[in-house]
Amino acid sequence: MKEMLKTKLGVENYEKLMAIDNPKLHQFIADYVELCNPDRVFICTDSAEDIKHIREAAIRNGAESELATSGHTIHFDNYHDQARDREHTNILIPKGVDLGPTLSTKDRDEGLGEIHEILKDIMKGHELYVRFFCLGPIGSEFSILCVQLTDSAYVAHNEDLLYRRAYEEFAREGPSARFFKFVHSQGELDERKTSKNLDKRRVYIDLQDNTVYSVNTQYGGNTIGLKKLAMRLAIKHASEEGWLCEHMLVMGVHGPRGRVTYFTGAFPSMCGKTSTAMLDSETIVGDDIAYLRKRNGKAWAVNVERGIFGIIQGINSKDDPIFWKVLHSPGEIIFSNVLVTEEKSVHWIRKDGEVSAKGLNHSGEWWIGKKDAAGKEIPCSHPNARFTLNLKLLENLDPKLDVPEGVVVGGIVYGGRDSDTSVPVEESFDWVHGIVTKGASLESERTAAVLGMEGVREFNPMSNLDFLSIPISRYIQDNLDFGKDLKTPPLIFGVNYFMRDKNTEKFLNKTMDKKVWYKWMELRVHKEADAIDTPTGRIPKYEDLKKLFEQVLGRDYSKGDYTKQFTLRVPEHLAKIDRVTKLYMEKVSKAPKIVFRVLEEQKQRLIETREKYGDYVTPDKFST
């Protein structure tokens, strides 16, 4: 094996690899070098020179092109490779294992056979990049080492901005290192350097061997091993070891007297997770994935990543001042699937200013009014177009990003796109009530992006459904158990940024009202604000919000707005409980009994309230 490696890698790269004394790692790399058969193999040691090699390779081989602003590059994915491919992403399971009806699985032997067939000689004519990273801060109980094999310099470069480098860590740990493994190939490329064989696009997750395979795709969510692919592996480990891997932001909320209280928050994609993490009144630790562990009776969290792979659609100077500034300043940023103008600047959907009449985008040459094969107008950028940057570019970065012990979690927030049921902010009665009625009951409405499906609610427990690798019932139970022996469990809140007026259909809140909800939640964690008990949870008092609106937004908050926003909508809540109960009965095998009990108790409270006050109950009914 070593002889083969020496020949394929050449002396310099062979030595770089051998500086890590780990035979299992050597074997893994040898196996895939032999199978994928690249022309060259580059072992990246994280030296400035090696990092530069990867960036330059991305530009040289056309995976990225330079833009006018220094450090900015653009990458395009195939027109039909613009998002996570749920259908072809499967957990490989040995015979006899059943993960329940909702998870997408495939027989392990069959899947491994198929993927190894696809991988054969797939890298011929290309360079293979080998990179070492760490999920979570280096040298902490959260850390998980990872090795990524990819023939895409774009993927290797992207990961450089998103994850903590760990070649040295591998070398230090030597033979004892345990690690996740990722094998990616973009496959054959077309003239635009995008993956061509999309019919053979596959993402297979082998839990047994801690390995994920991704082929014939370039879109980040399918290819960046440490992002959503590692999540499936981590969720299984978390379940076995008593911690949690969550689709959550982590942020520092700044309270009175310089106090900082950390929150985590789960929101389905495109529901305000990144914009919440980026509130300029607070500080960001992370915007996408968190690990949570218990220590000394408290919950601790870390950001698994150190960068952002963010949606660019809608970013504007008014609502996103920090991103706006960074996206217009020199610095290392990879844009993907936005419009590039002749002057090599970029434009995207709902950016300030005028869109240029033509340019290059994910569809190739683009002009205003261009239509796709189905006759649908192609927007200037894809709705899922993204940018990648390292958190250190942000002025609102929290100083605790890399602290090995993590941050103490004061509150956990769950939110989805909900036009008619939940109030803008509400605290649950306790851990179990919160996990069941906020996290496990999370639903989100589809946006106009899915034709004819607008308003349809998708069930998405903890916003983590796409990434589960264990049965849903087990995952919910793990969440319930996590709070059990915590002396001070985080408070659990539900938020809803998308509530609409029943008559006018207009949003009841302004985008930045969320700043106030976080300040209120922060006060609740420290028992510095009162609350009103309603059948579904605890809501803020008008006087407290009025004060906070003044302090945070410099705006008057009227009693009329409060009443509209915080009116309990009994019929909608009852309908939601029925939907969620039905789901847990039909789509989740062996759901924890407590889920049904907590939902049933809530239903009874709602029915009693309705008998007394009717269908729509204003908050003043509950204050006394």
Catalytic annotation, residues: 271
Secondary structure tally for the chain: helices H, strands E: 18, 33
Q: Per CB under 6 A, does 434 bind ligand SPV?
A: no
Minimal CB distance residue for ligand SPV: 221
Q: Per CB under 5 A, does 561 bind Mn ion?
A: no
Candidate residues 243, 262, 309, 475; the one interacting with ligand SPV per rule CB under 6 A:
309
* CA-derived radius of gyration, the chain: 25
Which CB sits closer to ligand SPV, 232 or 519? Answer: 232
Structure tokens at 383: 């709705």
Minimal CB distance residue for Mn ion: 288
Q: In angstroms, what is the minimal distance from the CB of 313 to ligand SPV?
A: 13
Q: In angstroms, what is the minimal distance from the CB of 139 to ligand SPV?
A: 26
Q: In angstroms, what is the minimal distance from the CB of 204 to ligand SPV?
A: 17
Which CB sits closer to ligand SPV, 220 or 540? Answer: 220
Candidate residues 288, 418, 445, 478; the one interacting with ligand SPV per rule CB under 6 A:
288
Give the number of other CB atoms < 10 A from CB of residue 598: 23
> Is the Cβ–Cβ distance between 379 and 332 less than 8 Å?
no
Distance CA 378, CA 78 (A): 14
For residue 54, what is the enclosing H or E element? helix 48-60
Q: In angstroms, what is the minimal distance from the CB of 288 to Mn ion?
A: 4
Which span (165-173, 281-289, 368-376, 469-477) binds Mn ion, by CB under 5 A? 281-289
Distance CA 186, CA 205 (A): 17
> Is the Cβ–Cβ distance between 225 and 214 less than 8 Å?
yes
Instruction: Output the CA torsion sign for 414, 419, 424, 429.
Output: negative
Candidate residues 38, 100, 137, 220; the one interacting with ligand SPV per rule CB under 6 A:
220
Q: In angstroms, what is the minimal distance from the CB of 29 to Mn ion?
A: 29
Q: How many chain residues touch Mn ion (CB under 5 A)?
A: 1
Q: In angstroms, what is the minimal distance from the CB of 561 to ligand SPV?
A: 32
The residue type of 179 is F
Which CB sits closer to ligand SPV, 266 or 393? Answer: 266
Q: Per CB under 6 A, does 100 bind ligand SPV?
A: no
Could you tell which of ligand SPV, Mn ion, none binds residue 426, using a CB distance below 5 to 8 A set by kind? none
Assign 254 to helix, strand or coil.
strand
- Residue 516: partners with Cβ closer than 8 Å, 6 or more residues away: 545, 548, 549, 552, 553, 557
CB contact burial 206-238 (16+ within 10 A = b; e otherwise): bbeebbbbbbbbbbbbbbbbbbbbbbbbbbbbb
Q: Per CB under 6 A, does 75 bind ligand SPV?
A: no
Q: In angstroms, what is the minimal distance from the CB of 473 to ligand SPV?
A: 23
Could you tell which of Mn ion, ligand SPV, none binds residue 201, using a CB distance below 5 to 8 A set by kind? none
Q: Taking CA 355 as the corner, what is the angle to CA 349 and CA 359, rounded to the nearest 5 degrees?
A: 100
In the numeric block, the tokens 């056979």 are attached to 113
Structure tokens at 180: 């996740």
Which span (15-23, 117-125, 219-227, 406-414) binds ligand SPV, by CB under 6 A? 219-227
Q: Which residues partner with 286 through β-bridges? A: 250
User: Where in 135-174 is the site for ligand SPV (CB under 6 A)?
Assistant: none
Give the number of other CB atoms < 10 A from CB of residue 308: 25
Q: In angstroms, what is the minimal distance from the CB of 59 to ligand SPV?
A: 23
Q: In angstroms, what is the minimal distance from the CB of 247 to Mn ion?
A: 6
Distance CA 619, CA 624 (A): 10
CA 37 to chain centre: 33
Which CB sits closer to Mn ion, 275 or 609? Answer: 275
Which CB sits closer to ligand SPV, 220 or 255? Answer: 220
Distance CA 168, CA 165 (A): 8
Structure tokens at 372: 């796709």
Which span (63-71, 221-229, 422-430, 491-499) binds ligand SPV, by CB under 6 A? 221-229
DSSP state of 446: -
Q: Per CB under 6 A, does 305 bind ligand SPV?
A: no
Which CB sits closer to ligand SPV, 221 or 225? Answer: 221
Q: Per CB under 6 A, does 227 bind ligand SPV?
A: yes
Q: Please state, in angstroms and as integers, the Cα–Cα distance from residue 210 to each residue in 180, 417, 478, following that order.
A: 5, 34, 21
Could you tell which of Mn ion, ligand SPV, none binds residue 341, using a CB distance below 5 to 8 A set by kind? none
Candidate residues 288, 418, 426, 427; the one interacting with Mn ion per rule CB under 5 A:
288
Nearest to 378 by CA among 354, 349, 335: 349
Q: Per CB under 6 A, does 84 bind ligand SPV?
A: yes
Candidate residues 269, 281, 345, 581; the one interacting with ligand SPV per rule CB under 6 A:
269
Which span (14-22, 220-228, 293-301, 399-407) binds ligand SPV, by CB under 6 A? 220-228
Q: Per CB under 6 A, does 246 bind ligand SPV?
A: no
Q: Per CB under 6 A, does 382 bind ligand SPV?
A: no
Q: At what angle do helices 48-60 and 153-162 cross, to 10 degrees?
A: 140
> Is the Cβ–Cβ distance between 211 and 230 less than 8 Å?
no
Could you tell which of ligand SPV, Mn ion, none binds residue 220, using a CB distance below 5 to 8 A set by kind? ligand SPV
Structure tokens at 402: 């890399």
Assign 622 to helix, strand or coil.
helix
Q: Per CB under 5 A, does 246 bind Mn ion?
A: no
Rule CB under 5 A: which residues touch Mn ion? 288
Rule CB under 6 A: which residues touch ligand SPV? 84, 220-221, 227-228, 269, 288, 309
